[in-house]
Amino acid sequence: MDLPFSEPNRAVIDAEFAPTTTYVNTATCGILPRSAVAAVRELAEAAAAGVPAGFGDFDRVNRVRASFARLVGVSADRVAVGSAVATHVGLVSASLPAGAEVLCPEGDFASVINPFVVRDDLKVRFAPLEALAEAVGPDTALVALSAVQSADGRAADLAAVRAATAAYGARMLVDATHAAGWLAFDASPYEYTVTAGYKWLLGARGVSYLTVSQEAQDTLVPLHAGWVAAESMWDATYGPMPELARGARRFDESPAFLAYHAAEPSLALLERVGLDAVRAHDTALAERYRQGLARLGHEPVPGTAPIVSVPGLAHRQPALQAAGIATAARDGGLRASFHLYNTEADVDRLLDVLDG
């Protein structure tokens, strides 16, 4: 198999994953590594036994925070942890004054858009992804977009949008859910980023991350602040908290411990393999698939991400599922998405079944 993993990394990956299907559906949900499954089992068994270890480990949550921070190029004090991207976006939405204009790409993922749309007093405007930078104007308060589109893998020109927002004094919110974990995504240029942890980051549902720039931390009100949002948590379990956490931890939700215990070995695996190697592997498989589709007479949405969508082929997804191949039907297209546990054999089997 001519793919860019070193032999030690290949051995680590093979030991961590054992899918029983041809699983090319990471853009829906990633596969949990065996070490993550073991961490969940250990916590669940401790909880069942009624021992203190079953309460969950805040130190582990903070190690997860630090690991994610390293992956996206920011300091840990800029990372808040939570359970869902929409909750983080809701905080940003709540921070905007009535009448503020929010610019979003047409057809972006609902969690990036809806927290703004449901506020009747905001002006939400949409533009094609490819023309988003040109659509920023003097009335734009915030641009909210995904770095990579969930439906078809198209990548935003983040540098161009950042330049446009800087020119007009607007802020940016970037959803890195389909970038972080295979791409060396840098969160530092943006006021806010949000990332779900259960796809390319190989975690479970119940983990999500919010990064907030130092300058933007005072723009958000921690509306769901509980005791975990205090500077000293254990001194804030009853009554008004003496002091909010000084960094982004003030925006923390109380963690879903089973999911965060799983996240630690998952992120450690990505750090061990290295994002450059993951990106080379994932995109090589996607390119092999694109070339195979062309030979079959199909035209996928252009791009280089490990998400490949073929318009008009969504109807093939049930038959692929019946054949033991996990893909997704999204927005009328058949979507396949590749990650470090996939091989060339997975790509070839998908193409063989599509060929009939």
pLDDT tens-digit map of 203-213: 999 999 999 99
Q: Are strands 101-105 and 140-146 parallel, antiparallel or unpaired?
A: parallel
Q: Which domains does the chain have, with CATH numbers?
A: 7-32+274-355 (3.90.1150.10), 52-271 (3.40.640.10)
Tell me the mean pLDDT in the region 119-136.
98
Distance of CA 24 to the CA centre of its chain: 17
The torsion region of residue 58 among left (phi > 0), alpha (psi -120 to 50) and beta comes to alpha
| Closest listed residue to residue 174, CA positions, set 153, 188, 164, 154 | 188
For residues 22 and 31, the answer to whether their CB atoms sit within 8 Å is no
For residues 132 and 143, the answer to whether their CB atoms sit within 8 Å is yes
Q: What percent of the chain has pLDDT over 90?
A: 96
Amino acid symbol at 263: A
Please report the pLDDT score of residue 152 as a whole number: 97
Handedness of CA 206, 215, 181, 36 (dihedral sign): negative
The band of 4, judged by pLDDT with boundaries at 50, 70 and 90, is: low
Distance CA 105, CA 93 (A): 16
Please report the pLDDT score of residue 10 as a whole number: 84
Tell me the mean pLDDT in the region 104-115.
98
Q: Tokens 């659509």, residue?
A: 135
State both tokens at 112. Answer: 């990036």
The pTM of the full predicted model, rounded to 2 decimals, is 0.95
For residues 195 and 203, the answer to whether their CB atoms sit within 8 Å is no
Helix extents (H) in the chain: 7-16, 34-49, 58-72, 85-95, 110-117, 132-135, 158-168, 257-273, 275-295, 317-322, 344-355
Q: What percent of the chain has pLDDT over 70?
A: 99
Handedness of CA 102, 104, 110, 112 (dihedral sign): negative
Tens digits of per-residue pLDDT, 282-294? 999 999 999 999 9
Tell me the mean pLDDT in the region 221-241.
95
| Closest listed residue to residue 192, CA positions, set 154, 223, 169, 219 | 219
Tell me the mean pLDDT in the region 213-228.
95
Tens digits of per-residue pLDDT, 307-348? 999 999 999 999 999 999 999 999 999 999 999 999 999 999
The band of 3, judged by pLDDT with boundaries at 50, 70 and 90, is: low
Amino acid symbol at 180: A
Distance CA 336, CA 328 (A): 7
The torsion region of residue 342 among left (phi > 0), alpha (psi -120 to 50) and beta comes to beta
Distance CA 184, CA 62 (A): 21
Amino acid symbol at 291: Q
| Closest listed residue to residue 57, CA positions, set 342, 208, 263, 209 | 263
Tens digits of per-residue pLDDT, 31-90? 999 999 999 999 999 999 999 999 999 999 999 999 999 999 999 999 999 999 999 999
Reply yes or no on whether the pLDDT at 2 is more than 50. Answer: no
Reply yes or no on whether the pLDDT at 116 is more than 90. Answer: yes
Reply yes or no on whether the pLDDT at 356 is more than 90. Answer: no
Q: Tokens 């259960």, residue?
A: 198
Whole-angstrom CA distances from 177 to 18, 132, 144, 181, 313 are: 24, 19, 13, 8, 24
Distance CA 211, CA 76 (A): 9
Please report the pLDDT score of residue 1 as a whole number: 39
Q: Are strands 79-82 and 101-105 parallel, antiparallel or unpaired?
A: unpaired
Any bridge partners for residue 328, and if so which? 335
For residues 232 and 14, the answer to whether their CB atoms sit within 8 Å is no
Report the mean per-residue pLDDT for the chain. Answer: 96
